[in-house]
Amino acid sequence: MSDILCITLNPTLDLSNEVDRVVPTHKMRVRNQRHDVGGGGINVARVVAELGGAVDALVLSGGASGTILEAGLKALPVGVHVFPMAGDVRIAFMVYEQQTGQEYRFVPEGPLVSEAELQPLLDFLETHPARFVVASGSLPRGLAAETYARMARIARRTGARFVLDASGDVLSAALDEGGIFLFKPSLSELEKLAGQSFSIEAASQFAGDLVARGSVENVALTLGADGAMLIHAEGVFRMPAIPVPVRSAVGAGDSFVGAMVWALSQGQGMREAFRFGVAAGAAAVMTPGTELCRRADILSLYAKACADQHEAQAARWTAG
């Protein structure tokens, strides 16, 4: 057992392809097809493992597609804990249009899962303490919106730091439960949570209110081309986006979370972990399809981000 448990309740087999142009009706011949195991928690585990960390993946799996998913997981350097379900693992499909550089992503809602199928996974969390428990991704149909809130409660009892990347009613219920160590929303997810549009400054204030009321200790807010912000009790720390050539947005958020959790597990402070998260998110968009990020790219971009920030700080001191 590792110190990091990554939970995926609605895993996917992710298929990615390339085509010259997407057109209706006509048969389109795709190429460069690849498939990867996916779903939020699995992607986070893949990134932790890519960086050399020890990590265990907890997944619900079933059907013929589940057999393929499990084989793919067992080929990775991660611990695998499979909890059976009657439904089939969903299959997601992504097409990259080469003429425009646009991506088209088709993601099924997933199978119907019962409370009885979920319970063995919850029992596992109760009896296998870890330093970090990461819950990432959507819930399959049939599970209550309070599912992640229940996991946060278990993590609090076992002394784990609970990391959450979710949205909608599931997120609201977990924040109402409180005690979340790290929450990573995008700006649009934060706006959906609040039910209103935000400027960057207003988003920072809203996240700060979540911290102040004890819902979460740290908020890593991603802002796309405007970079990212870390909001916690010590204040607000902002980083600009790292300019990179963009190939695919698939898994950028999961890469961000995975790199942050890996850095924290290695004893890094929250700000340094945040820098690793920004670097990993940028590294993920450099790779095609569902490949996620590469260790060498993360380390290179992290070093660049640190150097750029030191230069900017020196310039401010000189100007002062």
Query: What 3-state class would DSSP assign to 90?
Result: strand
DSSP collapsed to 3 states, 115-176: HHHHHHHHHHHHHCCCCEEEEECCCCECCCCCHHHHHHHHHHHHCCEEEEECCHHHHHHHHH
At 319 the pLDDT is 47
At 8 the pLDDT is 97
Structure tokens at 169: 């009613």
Residue 17 phi, psi (nearest 5) = -145, 165
At 266 the pLDDT is 96
CA 103 – CA 17 distance, rounded (Å)? 10
Burial class (CB in 10 A: 0-12, 13-18, 19+), 107: middle
At 124 the pLDDT is 97
- 206 CB-side CA count, 13 A: 21
Q: Which of 36, 254, 297, 308 is an active site residue?
A: 254
The pTM of this model reads 0.91
Q: CB of 279 within 8 A of CB of 50?
A: no
At 309 the pLDDT is 64
At 314 the pLDDT is 46
Q: Is 169 labeled as catalytic in the residue annotation?
A: no
Residue 274 phi, psi (nearest 5) = -60, -40
Residue spans of the domains in the chain: they are 4-21+30-313
At 248 the pLDDT is 74
Structure tokens at 258: 């995975």
At 261 the pLDDT is 98
Q: CB of 169 within 8 A of CB of 187?
A: no
Q: CB of 152 within 8 A of CB of 180?
A: yes
Largest Cα separation within the chain, whole Å, is 65
Structure tokens at 61: 């799996």
**Which residue has 């972990």 as its token pair?**
273
User: Which residues, at least 6 apart from 9, have a Cβ–Cβ distance to it below 8 Å?
Assistant: 41, 59, 60, 113, 118, 121, 137, 138, 139, 140, 143, 147
H or E element, residue 276: helix 270-285
What is 4-21+30-313's CATH number? 3.40.1190.20
At 251 the pLDDT is 79
User: Which residues, at least 6 apart from 28, have a Cβ–Cβ distance to it below 8 Å?
Assistant: 19, 21, 22
pLDDT along the chain (320 residues), means of 10: 94 93 92 91 96 97 97 96 98 92 91 97 95 96 96 96 94 94 94 93 96 96 92 94 83 92 96 95 85 91 80 49
